[in-house]
Each structure stands twice: as C-alpha cells, then as structure tokens.
Amino acid sequence: MNPKEPASSDPSPNTLNDNHSMTEAKRREAEYSRAVAETSRASAEARREKGEQERIASEESRQSAEMDRRLAEEQRRIAEELRHAAKETHSAAVDIREAAQEARAVLEEAKQTKKSGEAADTEYSNE
C-alpha cells in the first residue's frame, strides 16, 4: 500500500464482497421487476384476448338475434297473408253459398211454374 494513498482507496475483500452482493441484489431486483412486468404483460394480453372473445360472442349473439327477429317478422307477414287469404276464401264461400241458395230457389220456382203449366195444359186439353 502506498503511504500517499488514502486507506479508503484500497479495495479490501469486504468492500469487494459488498459490491458483489449489491450488484447481485440489484440483478435479482431487476430480474424480479422483469418477471413482474412479463406477468403483467401476459395478464393484460389474456384480458385483451378474453375481451376480444366476448366481443366476438356478443356480435354473434347480436347477429343471431337479428336473424331470429327477421324470421319472426317473415313468419308474422306470412301468417298475416294466410289470415287475409282465409278471410277472402270465407267471404267467397259465403257468396257461393248465397248464389247456390238463390239458384235452388230459382230452380224450385221453375219447377213449380212448370208443374203449374202442365196442370193448366192438362185442364185445357181436357176441355
């Protein structure tokens, strides 16, 4: 040791050991911080993926609901058309029934007229 140099400049084994321990502690601390950051990044990525999956499921659900709504609307429209057609068919059936009753009445009247005419002819020819 040089007498002109201060004692503190002489690296003692304890100082080297302390420096090595501090360096090792800082390295471990940095490694821990890096591991925490990686875990945090992985967790954020997992949350992002879960959010994306939920968004996709929500969109699929919305599309399915829209398709169901369109189908229901189409079925309602078809049912309305069928109801309208049934109403028209019923009205036509009522008209046909009335026409048939009128035709029967006319036919019955014609038969009665024919019988009356035949009876009058018979009486006329007997005279």
Q: Full-prediction pTM beyond 0.85?
A: no
10, 1 Cβ separation under 8 angstroms: yes
Contacts of 7 (CB under 8 A, 6+ apart): 1
Which stretches within 6-127 are classed as H helix? 13-126
User: What's the pLDDT tens digit per position in 58-101?
Assistant: 999 999 999 999 999 999 999 999 999 999 999 999 999 999 99
User: What's the pLDDT tens digit per position in 16-70?
Assistant: 677 888 999 999 999 999 999 999 999 999 999 999 999 999 999 999 999 999 9
CA atoms of 107 and 102, how far apart (whole Å): 8
The amino acid that residue 55 corresponds to is: R
Residue-range domain boundaries for the chain? 19-126
Tokens of residue 5, six digits = 């140099």
Tokens of residue 107, six digits = 């036919």
